[in-house]
Amino acid sequence: MLSFSSIFVHHRSRRKVILLDTLSIPLTLIMHNKNNRSGIYVGIDIASGNNVYWDISKSFSPHVLVIGPTGSGKTLTLAAIANRLKNHYAGCTIFMDVKNEYVDILTLYNYKDIFVLDPIKTPLPLCFCHDDKHQKLESVNIVVDVLAKVFSLHPTKQRVLQNILLEACVKCSDVNDSLAIGDEILLDRNVDEALQTVMKLFNVYLDANEHPLAIQDSEKAYVINLKSLFLRNKADSATVILYTTRFILEKLGYSLITTPKIVMVIDELWHALPYLAEDFIMILTRYSRSFGLSILMATQGVDDLYPYSDTIVNSCGGLISMASSSIAYWQRLRRYLNLSNKSIEKALTLCNQGEAVARFSPQNVPLFLYIDPLER
């Protein structure tokens, strides 16, 4: 169990509750008997003090979107839910860490094996030398497809990039040395930017055992440090996120898996969305169930996701809106959370870190919760 002073622990005090305040709480989500609980523990119902559990097997989607202003508890919420998914379904977790803070948080959850990956220091795999030519081509095509999305490359430019990268893989040499072949080729600006990204973020490895991302271990938590990329080049950060997602799906083999085997956490989604929107939306909508991947995302406001706000929200089985004193904030979320005027008034009374209004599929009514960071 966690024990540290930086986390606010909600005080469970008994109070008189009007019956109508509790009728909207879906009883299928609230388990009074710990031995009979189903699903993962989410938090504490503010009105009743009961523990709330979410059975993802009954949800149309395993993905979760967390919305809230700075300091409202988004990061702790993401970490807590990811930890519970990992423990409940024995999956591995991958954190896209744009603020360099998840390692400290995960240490407090007693993670035994945390692997921190900085793409600048440990480049992502472009390909593996021991693979055959067909496998190398598949690996290169994933990278080219990601770069095409991020840098809006025309198909003819994609083929140019593919040939350059494939030759580097065939030679099985350091990317920065191999890509010198492109110096004499007349490239447009987008292709040049894509090549610069490859040289910064990718390299050729002898075999899969040389790169930690290729050895997905259910006992491990991978923290990909994106802080330097987030501050300097959001396109590079988006490249890492999209490539990692595609790489994971390829590793899963797009096979039918009924429970989350890999949980990916993407904090501050807004910064990468403009570069990966269409492909990311396709992953959310097409691979929402039965592919073994659960994506937990966070952003400060639903309008940060424009023009994909509706699609992203409606592709998530869980929506958690952290406390805010702004009536405009709750008015904007009204239709996503099914909030009445009375519910908005109640939401405006939430003021503590970790307090939130949430909905979880298959239920469609708002829950007023404290997202408990402690394991129960």
CB 192 within 8 A of CB 66: no
> To the nearest whole percent, how much of the chain has pLDDT over 70?
83
Mean pLDDT of the 318-339 span: 97
Q: What tens digit of pLDDT does each residue of 44-73 get?
A: 999 999 999 999 889 989 999 999 999 999
What pLDDT band is residue 360 in, cutting at 50, 70 and 90? Answer: very high
Where do the structural domains in the chain lie, given as residue ranges? 59-120+217-368, 124-208
Are the C-beta atoms of 376 and 80 separated by less than 8 Å? Answer: no
Q: How confident is the model at residue 217 (pLDDT cuts 50, 70, 90)?
A: low
pLDDT for the residue 113: 80
pLDDT (0 to 100) of residue 28: 40
Q: Which two tokens stand for residue 376?
A: 């129960």
Q: Which of 32-36, 39-43, 84-88, 254-258 has the lowest mean pLDDT?
A: 32-36
State the Cα angle at 149 between 143 and 151, rounded to 5°: 95
Nearest by Cα to 196 from 182, 185, 186, 206: 182
What's phi and psi for 343, nearest 5 deg? Answer: -65, -35
Is the pLDDT assigned to residue 129 strictly greater than 60? yes
Please write the tens of the pLDDT for every residue from 92-124. Answer: 899 999 999 999 999 888 887 888 999 999 999
Angle at CA of residue 86, ends 297 and 272, nearest 5°: 20
CATH of domain 59-120+217-368: 3.40.50.300
Mind listing the pLDDT tens digit for each residue in 183-214? 445 567 888 899 999 999 999 998 888 787 76
Check whether 15 has a pLDDT greater than 90. Answer: no
Q: What is the rounded radius of gyration, in angstroms, for the C-alpha atoms of the chain?
A: 22
